[in-house]
Structure 1
Amino acid sequence: MTNSAPPGSAAELFERAAPTYDRTGVSFFGPLGAELVRRADIRPGDRVLDVGCGRGAVLFPAAEATGPTGHVTGTDLAPAMVTLTAEDAARAGLTQVDVLVDDAQRPDFPPRSFDAVLAGLVVFLLPDPQQALRSYARLLRPAGRLAVSTFAAQDPAFDAAMAALAAHLPADQARPAPPDDPFADETRIGATMAAAGLTVTEIGKHRIESRFRDVGHWTEWMWSHAGRALLGRVPAERLDAATADAARALDGARTPDGGLCLRTTIRITVAMPATSHQG
């Protein structure tokens, strides 16, 4: 891991997560990435940008869809994520892929560079999602597609476990609060996209089941992604108690074999530049 990311920043969080991100044996990011690529209708020869590419859950299915005649650029703000994903692409012999350090909110590419821009579970994490969407609209060719995935519904047991963890934060720390979500429902999504110069062509939902051997496996998975932002704020002396409370909250997700199954619903929005839609 490099130390270039500012302490406490999103880049530092994902820099620390990079070695285990999507590498804990949990079916989550991979199936969601493949579905995002499918909904975006990536075609052979397309030039594609994958913002916030992580360890390639969207990047690699997109590369398969474009084939060797296309090109896929993945970007991430965490240098370690970029390094590891670039190594994975090289090992796979994907000459049509490159991976760069870049900001998902302000991608640094010329206008109309891409046939498709893909954003898998990233836009709502950015400081200004609206600005990011305007940037993506600028990067699309006239008939280009933007495909974005956002959360539609978490498993109730997951929400309960997160609340159990948050109850162990120091009294002087703010508890996680639901943000003002520009992707909360189809009406808001349409308005959000329109304000960015985009016209929605499709909004669909995709449900996935993620299975865990036990609570320890779930905790390992939480440390491997953005969930570590909450876990990392729990004082070390309270972590065991917090995890025990989270385990009780997850009882509703128990499976007959003693494992856990969490069901997550993702919303996938596909949009085009408004001018091309009108034309």
Structure 2
Amino acid sequence: MEEWQKQFYDNYVNNKLNDAESLLCKNMPSSFIKFYPGISDKNKNYSLKALKDETLWMSSPNEFNDPFDCPMCIGEENIINQILEYLENCGINKFKEQLLNNISKDMKTKSEIASMIFNKQLKDIREQLFISCLTDINNLKSSVMWAHYANNHRGFCIEYDSKKLKELNYVYIPIKYSTLFEPSWMYSFHNSIKKLIFNSIYVKSNEWGYEKEWRFHDINEKYKNQKGYTIKVQGTIKNVYLGYRVDKQLEKEIIEICRKKKINVYKMKMKNNSFQLQCELIEDKKDSK
């Protein structure tokens, strides 16, 4: 993790929002990208529709491929542990020892009830949570990303202008990759709600670090329990990149859409004598009429 990211996370969770935004503006990439599979689902090609309509998908975390993504739950032991940790942080170890010696079955039962109440509230928040996921432009030549998210190089990739997204109030935040899984506590003596939200939405396992992911989230009751919805991002698309194995018909349709919108189209190629991809311009917007 870069030093600016550590400073950003600290400022963000401690409500130093001006400092956090300043760091973000100075360090965010000039462009974000999103990989699309380019395949039809029930006779609808949602990938092409995203390009044609200039939209981005806000997804429910229930649809994510990582089961640990956006965890919002607590165990009854966390209620007690939270009190013990608070006493320890305050240096009141005497009371901590007394509490440990007097934790009764009745108290554990009450903790279970409290846990159920908190988890219901957390579940309600999660059902209204929607996230847009993009990646750093530096991932454009990642064979792994093309394989995982662009239908084994048969799909395409759209490049978005990060500053223009921000002008539309879509502020993307980089994922914090960690080996530490922190439990989510809805109420805490020393953790803010911002920290709860941040840890749930913007922290993922180190195993996903290769994705270099950036996210924008929204809590929207209107779409509660739905798979997701689209947001308009007109004027933010910079370029489109076709996968090395893109279908000829899909390639033709993408070029036609981009020609009308005056967007450059590139195609990914394999470098000779190297495990690397490169892109080649095949449709120049300057030539579009």
User: For the superposition of Structure 1 and Structure 2, which TM-score range results when normalised by the shorter chain?
Assistant: under 0.3
TM-score (norm 1): 0.22
Q: Which has the larger radius of gyration?
A: 2
Structure with the higher fraction of residues in helix conformation: 2
TM-score (norm 2): 0.22
Greater length-normalized contact order (CA 8 Å, ≥ 6 residues apart): 2
